[in-house]
Structure formats: C-alpha cells, structure tokens
Amino acid sequence: MSAKTILEVRNLKKYFPIQKGVFRRVVGHVKAVDGLDFVIREGECVGLVGESGCGKTTAGRSIIRLLDPTEGEVLFRPGEQEVDMAKLGKDGLKRIRQEMQFIFQDPFASLNPRMTVGRIVSEPLKIQGIGTQKERMSRAGALLEKVGLSASQMGRFPHEFSGGQRQRIGIARSLSLNPRFVICDEPVSALDVSVQAQVLNVLKDLQQDFSLTYLFVAHDLSVVEHISDRIFVMYLGKIVEIADSQELYESPRHPYTEALLKAIPIADPKLGRRREALEGSVPDPSNPPDGCNFHTRCRYATDLCRSEEPVLQGQQGNPEHQASCHYQNELQLAGYMARGAG
C-alpha cells in the first residue's frame, strides 16, 4: 500500500441549528459531526462505522461537500496539488468531482427514473463536457460491463432492474469520470443479504482495476470486515477508535467497538445464530453527555469517565491503533474472533 496521504481531515465539524418560534431563533445545535481528525492513504479502503445517528453519513457528505462543513479542513491530494474541499467554490467543486465521487445508499431513489441507463452512466461526462455523445455512450457501455451488467442494457430504464443491479448502475455512474477517491455511503444496506456480498465483491474488484481509494460508510461491522484495510469507529459525532481492520476485530480498545462486535451475529453449532444487541440508544447529539460521550451506555464507566473527556490517542507501543478511552491500556475487551471461538 502506498504511504501517500490522499485525504487529510482536520477538526471537521458539521452542526445543524435548532430553530424555534415565529422568528426561528437558534436555540441550540445538533452536533452531527464534532471535530474529526484523520488521514486516508492512497489505495486503501477505510470503513467508517457506527450506529444510525452517530454522524457517519453527515461526515461523508461534508467531506465531498454535499453538505457545507461548519468548521475544519478537508485537504484532498489527488495528484501533486492539494485542495481544501471545505473552501472550494462552485467551479472548483465541479472540477474536483472528477477526482472524488459518491455512491448513494438508496439505489431506488438515486437514479432518475426517466433516464435510460446509458444516459445515467454517461451524464457526469456530459456535465463536465467530456467527449462526444458516441464516446460517452461507449464509455457507459464499458462501465456497465465492468460492474457485471451488459452494454446491451443501456437503452433500458432503472425500474427494469433489481435492487442489486440498480446499485451496480450507481457504481458505474460514479466511475464514469475515472475518480481517484470514492465515498460509498452504505451502498449495500438497502439490498437483500444474498445480494450484498455480490455488490461488495464488485466494489472490491473495481478498487483494484481502477486504483481507487474508498471511504466506506456502514452501520454494521460485519459489512466492512472483508473490504476494509482500516476501520474508523464513530460515536456521537466523534471518532472513538482507529485501527487496522484485523486488529480491530481481534483486539478492540474501545468499549463501543466491543459492543458493535458483539452485535454481529455469529453461527453457533449448538445455539444457531447468536448476537448481543447493543443496549440503550445514541444520546441526543444536541445535548451530548459530559465527560466520555459513551459513558451512559458503557459497562466499564467510572466517575472519571463521567467528568473528563478522553482524547483519541495511540496505544502504548502501537501509535497506529488509537482509541478515546481512559482505560484503553487496562481493559481486556473481547474481539470478534474470541467470541467465535468461545
């Protein structure tokens, strides 16, 4: 894997104002994303994982500027140059979309039902003024073949395809401009379990063929297990753990990661499929708890956790594995592998 950093996010925040009354006075903020710092290296796939409402989709959308960040820097380095995505104007964003693309969660809502598949996949080329009509259609056909569909299906409409096929069309569209970096926003969560693995395999193959870097957003650690090189775990607008994928599954350092791992169903020959559901729900992001924001659900919480916020930091002797827990060096947390064996 190349060590070159393709994306560096510094103190990224996205707050949504809460307005009340006739004059729509701002009475507070929903802190959906509250100070993210991380780097993504060229060619890797990073899984961004957390429950619904933890801010992961908002983070992805703020990075690519489908949402305007409240604060922070998003330094994108697709080539020799560096751009701060957070500060780009309309023209700059249009240019940078050639390098950074987004795959939407819902393959039903994200495709224009009145456009043929050929037009949908070639549309980004048209918007950027690239190629002739014939060249654009030729590229669309080649991309459809790449995602496991057929160029002969270009004249059909989205409703003639299954959910999995529609997501393949969405993937083909996201690759039409030959981007370097793709944000995949829960691309398989709306699909049947039987189809999920097929689409994940397509994404994995395309990453190799097109030398892509992925930020892969998911609410479930089981989905990202086989596709991610590293995983960022997010809770209540903040990253609480960063680790190499295998290491995270084997030896998590944050109790929230441990709880997410316990929620993955495992096949047990005696008991069938078993899993431990996460207790409680994500607190209100407009009024996060004091101290460690996970303390209201953490089985290891102490008085220190309720009063002092832990910092995301590397482990002793392993700076790449970071967690924001006061007790990350003392707790012996159960990994997924240990559960499977136990």
- Binding residues for ligand SF4, rule: CB under 6 A, are 254-255, 292, 294-295, 298, 300-301, 305, 310, 325-327
Shortest CB 339 distance to ligand SF4, Å: 19
Three-state SS for 108-139 is: CCCCCCCCCHHHHHHHHHHHCCCCCHHHHHHH
- By beta-carbon proximity to ligand SF4, the closer residue of 161 and 294 is 294
Shortest CB 288 distance to ligand SF4, Å: 12
Shortest CB 293 distance to ligand SF4, Å: 8
- By beta-carbon proximity to ligand SF4, the closer residue of 230 and 326 is 326
Three-state SS for 237-284 is: CEEEEEEEHHHHHHCCCCHHHHHHHHCCCEEECCCEEECCCCCCCCCC
- By beta-carbon proximity to ligand SF4, the closer residue of 14 and 326 is 326
Shortest CB 177 distance to ligand SF4, Å: 41
Three-state SS for 39-73 is: EEECCCEEEEECCCCCCHHHHHHHHCCCCCCCEEE
- By beta-carbon proximity to ligand SF4, the closer residue of 37 and 309 is 309
- By beta-carbon proximity to ligand SF4, the closer residue of 266 and 301 is 301
Shortest CB 306 distance to ligand SF4, Å: 8
Shortest CB 268 distance to ligand SF4, Å: 28
Contacts of 199 by beta carbon, 8 Å cutoff, 6+ apart: 164, 167, 168, 171, 187, 188, 191
Q: For the range 317-323, what are the long-range contacts, defined as Cβ-Cβ under 8 Å and sequence gap of 24 or more?
A: 320/242, 320/243, 320/244, 321/242, 321/243, 321/244, 321/247, 321/248, 321/253, 322/241, 322/242, 322/243, 323/240, 323/241, 323/242, 323/243, 323/253, 323/254, 323/257
- By beta-carbon proximity to ligand SF4, the closer residue of 7 and 292 is 292
